[in-house]
Every structure is written in C-alpha cells, then in structure tokens.
Amino acid sequence: MAIIKAVSSGASIGNAINYVTKEEKTEEKLVSGVDCNPQTAIDEMKLTKEIWEKQGGREYYHFVQSFSRLEKITPEEAHTMAKELAEQRFKGYEVVIATHKDREHIHTHFIVNSVNHENGYKLHWSKFELQRMKDISDNLCMEHGKSICQKGQEITAYNQNKYKVLEKSIGGEYKSYVLDCYKAATAASQTATSREDFIENMRTAGWETTWTDRKYITFTDMNSNKVRNSNFEKTFKEPFGKEDLQHGFERANARRVAEQSRGLTDNTGINLETGGSPANNTDVLIEKLDATIRDAKDAVSLDVRAKRDRIAKEQSLQRQRDRIEKSKAIERSEPSQGLRR
C-alpha cells in the first residue's frame, strides 16, 4: 500500500531539492521533473515566481509517497507511479520527484513549486486536497496491481479474485469505482459489435472512453475518476485488451451475419417472419444511418481531441524552452535588474 503525507517545509526551496536528490539516497534514473528539468529546477521555480511577481509567502510544498516494506515493488515502479501522480494532481506546477531506496521501505519525495507557471495561481493546501491526492494514489496503486488500505479494514491486496472480494467486503457496503467501471465495461462489451458501439454503451453507463493509438484504453466517470483497461486484467485476472475486445466484436458480428443468413432478420434488424411495413423498415433504416453518422462524428471528435492534446503539449514544451532561455538571460544580466512582466 502507499501512504501519502505532507512534510513541513522550513528549509529553502533550494535546500529541499538538494536534500531529496542526494546521491546517497537515490540515483539519477530515479530523479525526474514534471514541467521542469531537475538539474535546473531551482532556478526555474524561482523564475516562475519572479515572472508572476509572487516571490513572497510559502516557497513550495513537500509530500512523500511511501510503500510498505511488504509491498512487492521496485524503485523504478514506484518512480513511474510517482510521476503519474504528480502529472494528475499538480497540473501546471513544477515538481521535482526523487525516489529513495536508502531505507527498508521505498518512498518518493515531491517538491512542488507553490506558483503555477501557466497561470500564476498559488497552490493552497488543505485536508481535502490531501485526501484528493491520496485517492489518486490509491487509484494508481490499483492500476499497477499494488495494494491499498481501506478505512476500517486491513490492507486489501489487489491480486486474486478481486471481483468477489470487493462485492462481499464490509457486508456489501463497500463501493469502488474500479469495480463499477469493470461491470459497465463487461456489459458494454457483451452487446457491442464495434469499437464505436462499445464507446457508446460505456457513455450510456456514465463512462467516457478514450480509445486512441495509445497502448491503453482509459475510462473516466462524471467525478473524473480514471480507470485503465489494463487494471481489469491485473485486478480481475481476465483479458480486457484492445485485441480481446476486437475479437469479441468480430464474434458478435459473425453471430449477427449467421442469423441474417438464416432469414431471421434483415440488415435493419426487422424480423422477416413477423413482417413489417415499408414505412417501419424505412424509419429503422434512417435511425441506423443516423447512428452511423453519430459514430463517425465521435471518431472525428476523438481525432480532434488528440490533435488538441498534441498541440497543447508542444506549446508547453515551447514555454519551457522560453523559460530556460529567460533564465539564462537573467544569469547573464546584473542581479539587481530582475525580470518583470
């Protein structure tokens, strides 16, 4: 299981980053930056404060994600999960991530700049915000097949027979959005004959589906909880990859074709044995054409979103390059000159 805690930040931001990145505590491959380069993060974070004229107040926030010594996890796995956690929870904030392996338990430090480099907002923390971070951490643990600790019960290991365990735990009162998503996806796959059908079925069940050229399919509910299809395979030990779903669609289509060949239905779904007026047949056909058009629009919409995400990423990278250039310019200028918007 992973435990999240906030650490007091009495030291300067430079001392904090230097401390968590010490060689005796970690190694280069276990040190990363989100929206910053860990080697120049101190200057980048200070530059962000100067650009937005917010040098006063709290400099940074310090968090630690710790795993039980009994958890089967490598430093590399912990570091990957930490980066995903920082990307989801601290959008627009520069974060230095350092995974330590100098103790019996693996743990990761997060040094988060208090000023958002995209909009200048300061990060204000509370118990509610800390709980949100813990919830994201728990979700990532489940996605990666690690254990979590539920309130009022012992650690629940997500490795075998998860479906039955979750349904029976705590007298049936336990509710998991991962389990809800699994149920919805299973039902959606049983009736879908295409990727578009499956996505529409999931939308009807309250889940938006992101199915692109990326490795995983991601499901998002109305509360912004996200679940990957890979989590189903790890959690419930059942195949749920893209190829598995496509094969299911092909089998469903084959069954439909077989039924049509036996004269039970035509391609509009009208039962030929019971008849059906031409007007009704036309209405059904129009409905199916409309559905096809909607599916095509959905596919285009996915492409547009992917393009928009790529452009946003390119713009973010360009901003980082510009900020580094500004940082170099400041170093070459006199300290008294500073940088103002």
Q: pLDDT of the chain along its 341 residues, tens only?
A: 678 888 866 678 999 999 899 887 888 889 999 999 999 999 999 999 999 999 888 899 999 998 887 888 899 999 999 999 999 999 999 999 999 987 778 899 999 999 999 989 999 888 778 888 888 898 898 888 887 755 433 333 333 344 454 544 434 444 577 878 888 888 888 878 888 989 988 988 889 999 998 889 999 988 788 889 888 877 666 778 888 888 888 877 776 666 665 554 444 444 444 444 444 555 665 566 566 656 665 655 555 566 666 666 666 667 777 777 777 777 777 554 444 44
Asked if 210 and 314 sit in the same domain, the reply is no
Would 256 be classed as within a structural domain? no
| 27 shares its domain with 152 | yes
Per the CB < 8 A criterion, the answer to whether 240 and 229 are in contact is yes
CB-CB contact of 259 with 268 (8 Å): no
Number of domains in the chain: 3
3 state SS of 30 = helix
Whether residues 89 and 217 fall in one domain: no
Q: What gap in Å lies between CA 20 and CA 32, rounded to an integer?
A: 11
Q: Does some domain include residue 27?
A: yes
Q: Are residues 119 and 175 in the same domain?
A: no
3-state helix, strand, coil split of the chain in percent (to 5) is: 50, 15, 35
Q: At what angle do helices 195-204 and 177-191 cross, to 10 degrees?
A: 140
Tell me 23's DSSP state.
T
Report helix angle 242-261 to 177-191, nearest 10: 30
Answer yes or no: do 148 and 174 share one domain: no
Please count the residues of the chain: 341
User: Do 25 and 132 share a domain, yes or no?
Assistant: yes
Has residue 335 been placed in a domain?
no
Residue 132 lies in a domain: yes
Domain around 132: 2-156
Q: Tokens at residue 90, please?
A: 């601290």
Instruction: Cite the DSSP H helix spans in 90-207.
Output: 127-143, 162-168, 177-191, 195-204
Q: Are residues 19 and 98 in the same domain?
A: yes
Type of residue numbered 236: F
Let me know whether 233 and 310 are in one domain. Answer: no
What is the pTM for the complete model shown?
A: 0.47
Residues 135 and 269 in one domain: no
Domain match, 24 and 56 both: yes
